[in-house]
Amino acid sequence: MSIKQFSESPTNLEPKYPHQLLLQAFYLTVTSSENDPLHINIKCGINDESRNNIANVMYFIYPDVPKIVKKEDLLTIPSLIHSFVSTDENGKRYYYYVQRWSDDKTPKILVLVSGRYSSLYIRLLPVLKEVLDTKGLTHLIDLFDQLKECEYPESDLVINESTIISHNPEIPIFPILKKFGPADFVELVGRILLEENTMFLVESIDQGMPIIQAFLQILIPFEWQGVLIPMLPIEESYAGFAGCPTPMLFGTTQQGLININKLYSNTLDINIYNVSTSKFQKRKSGLNLFAFKETGRLLNQLKSIIDNPTFEHPDSLICNCFSQLFLDLFGRYFAFFEQQSIGFVFNDKNFIKSSSNELQVFLTAFNQSQMFERFIQHRINYISVMPEFRRSIFIDCPLFKSKKKPSFLKMKDISNEPQKCCGCGQKIDMDRAVCVYGKNLLFHTECLRCKSCDCFLFEKESFDRQCMDCLEEDCDELENQFDNTRRWEQVDISINKHKSDTEILQRSSFSKVLQYLSFYETEKSDSQRQKDESEEMRKSSVFLNGTTGSIFLTRSSKIGTFSATLNPNDSRKTIIVKEENQPLTQITQPKISLSVSTYYSGSPTSSTPISKPITPTSFVDANGKKYQVPLKKAPVPPKKGN
């Protein structure tokens, strides 16, 4: 076997990986007996002395199985190749690559364990399975012995001079960027930098690891220090991990999300990105702090990469664009190391103050992260033994490497003179990244954000500067709150059962009057049909009809109790206010149109018949504020024609 070696070893400030190709390898079968319904057999392997380690990760080998208690639980599971990662108590990560299948009613598993993530292992697994199927277990054992002595190749892995496994050492990022879009991708990077808990909702268990690894590759030279679970098992006991108090990146399927919601009742405040629908649900308490001129340039650069499929090595270009961003944000860090009696320390306050105002908010938050702390501590350990460390950092730190980057759309590309940004109102410099919204509205790219959730709108469908997710939520809310048909259908009648006897009696006296009130301003001949259509609404509402339109005074629903009055500035609109256990208030009733010849006046609780209608000139709302009622003018008869 011949393997191409690394041309040079990494420097002290670059990520370190084991030189070995494989740390462990296993070929497993699962059998059962009367005394042991689930028995794991290690047929062969590399460093396979620890059977317990494999038993502990069975739920991660089969994360789509609700319960693993016997062999039969695994027979109906589809064959699949996927990967996951485990972390030991020292923070060291081990990457597991799994191929599972069933043959002759026996579940079989190939497992490769490495100290790095690479697509090479995904390509190696089918080769090993083919050797096992065609040549038998003996040849697989011989191949394991050869792989045990190999080091990780730079490009091609040649097995027995006949089988060549070629791979790109770069982690595939371009497909993830294209799927997510520049706006969501960049905002997710910003939130991951601030160590916000983030969930990726995927359709298949083999999708979680590539997505998370793409984001981790983008973060270099920073390293994720939190919990990392590419695919959370759907077994119910694992749902509690979603509420982990430490920063966590994880993936799950729809069944896993159901278990999480069942446990936490939708109270988790985390970022959730639905990969299949591209819907991004942000943390309720989180803000988009990753919006400044540097991210505007980055967004335009990423769009340029997506729009130009002729670019060679797009994954490297994407990483280079983010490296340039990190250089702009953190490239001054080397100037703020100070030597004191206890050694070198980093003056973070002066570092933050030296940045622009728009960056200081983000840097203040990022300064509290474990990633930045580890980054600075790593540099302190480095400069403590390195003479002329500031000069050495420029050589060794990945931030300062010269890298190729794509061009991007600037103001000077679309105009000969500066224009005004429709977002911030400032003039756009000729070299700033810009985008066009609508037909001719110019924005700094970073200024084009949703006015509701503050997410980037760059290259996203939107209406009136609002992202589609917020627009859908607003439409649902408006439909539920202001559409009478939907609103009254959703009234929760059961709430009335928990109210006091006095209030129930008060509402029952109202029902006798309200049965005769017309829902619309004019009388309707079919009063019985109208009564049936409005019955549910009237049972749980105090509702009056006046000369300027319909007024409902209070309403109880699943989301609370609301009070409403007419808007004095526009009688066609209603003021709706949510209240907490506020008692009904006596009001002066406007003119009421009745479907029978009997009229009622006085307070809403009154049921005294009178002989003619009374037209008051004002009424008082539930808060005691007085409003003037517009009087209806007498109709003017049309002029007779010639």
- Tens of pLDDT, residue by residue over 523-537, are 444 445 545 544 444
- What CATH superfamily is the domain 172-408? DENN domain, C-terminal lobe (3.40.50.11500)
Helix (H), strand (E) at residue 182: helix 182-193
Would you state the pLDDT for residue 394? 67
Give tens-digit pLDDT for 572-598.
444 444 444 444 333 333 333 333 333
Would you state the pLDDT for residue 441? 87
241/252 Cα distance (integer angstroms): 11
Confidence tier at 522 by pLDDT (50, 70, 90): very low
Distances in whole angstroms, Cα of residue 358 to Cα of each of 106, 287, 319, 330: 60, 14, 24, 14
- Its CATH architecture, for the domain 24-165, is 2-Layer Sandwich (3.30)
Q: Where are the domains of the chain?
A: 24-165, 172-408, 411-490
Classify 231 as helix, strand or coil.
coil
Would you state the pLDDT for residue 191? 93
Would you state the pLDDT for residue 176? 94
Give tens-digit pLDDT for 153-169.
877 777 666 666 666 66
| E-assigned strand segments in 347-481 | 434-437, 441-444
Structure tokens at 414: 């679309």
Lowest mean pLDDT of 154-163, 407-416, 544-553, 627-636, name the range.
544-553
Would you state the pLDDT for residue 567? 47
Would you state the pLDDT for residue 639? 55
pLDDT at 82 over 70: yes
Say what the alpha-carbon torsion angle 185, 188, 190, 195 is, to the nearest 10 degrees. Answer: -150
Would you state the pLDDT for residue 344? 85
pLDDT at 518 over 50: no
pLDDT at 251 over 90: yes
Would you state the pLDDT for residue 501? 52
Over residues 251-273, mean pLDDT: 90
Over residues 481-493, mean pLDDT: 48
Above pLDDT 70, what percent of the chain?
Answer: 66
Mark out the alpha helices in 367-467 (DSSP H runs): 370-383, 389-396
pLDDT at 201 over 90: yes
Mean pLDDT (the chain, rounded): 75
Classify 99 as helix, strand or coil.
strand
Would you state the pLDDT for residue 343? 82
Above pLDDT 90, what percent of the chain?
Answer: 25
Lowest mean pLDDT of 86-100, 225-239, 569-583, name the range.
569-583
Among the ranges 161-165, 179-183, 549-553, 580-584, which has the highest mean pLDDT value? 179-183
Would you state the pLDDT for residue 184? 93
Confidence tier at 177 by pLDDT (50, 70, 90): very high
Do 173 and 41 contact (CB within 8 A), yes or no? no
Over residues 177-197, mean pLDDT: 93
Lowest mean pLDDT of 414-418, 440-444, 459-463, 616-620, name the range.
616-620
Would you state the pLDDT for residue 203? 93
Would you state the pLDDT for residue 204? 92
Classify 76 as helix, strand or coil.
coil
Over residues 30-47, mean pLDDT: 83
Helix (H), strand (E) at residue 185: helix 182-193
Give tens-digit pLDDT for 57-76.
889 999 999 888 888 888 88
pLDDT at 125 over 50: yes
Over residues 449-470, mean pLDDT: 83
169/93 Cα distance (integer angstroms): 19
135/129 Cα distance (integer angstroms): 10
pLDDT at 493 over 60: no
Would you state the pLDDT for residue 636? 54
Would you state the pLDDT for residue 612? 42
Lowest mean pLDDT of 217-226, 352-361, 626-635, name the range.
626-635
Residue 81, number of CB atoms within 10 A of its CB: 17
pLDDT at 500 over 60: no
CA quadruple 493, 499, 503, 504: dihedral sign: positive
Would you state the pLDDT for residue 624? 58
Confidence tier at 418 by pLDDT (50, 70, 90): confident
pLDDT at 216 over 80: yes
Confidence tier at 465 by pLDDT (50, 70, 90): confident
Lowest mean pLDDT of 1-10, 178-187, 514-523, name the range.
1-10
Instruction: Output the pTM of the full model.
Output: 0.70
Would you state the pLDDT for residue 11? 46
Over residues 294-319, mean pLDDT: 89
Would you state the pLDDT for residue 373? 92
Higher pLDDT, 604 or 83: 83
DSSP string, 255-282: HHHHHHHHHHTT----EEEETTTTEEE-
Comparing CA positions, the residue from 434, 397, 438, 389 lying closest to residue 415 is 434
Do 314 and 304 contact (CB within 8 A), yes or no? no
End-to-end CA distance of the chain: 109
Exposure letters 564-577 (e unless 16+ CB within 10 A, then b): bbbebeeeeeeeee
Residue 158: half-sphere exposure toward Cβ, Cα within 13 Å: 8
DSSP string, 287-342: -----SHHHHHHHHHHHHHHH-TT-SSHHHHHHHHHHHHHHHHHTTGGGGEEEETT
Among the ranges 114-118, 289-293, 449-453, which has the highest mean pLDDT value? 114-118
Lowest mean pLDDT of 206-215, 274-283, 323-332, 393-402, name the range.
393-402
Give, in words, the CATH class of 411-490. mainly beta
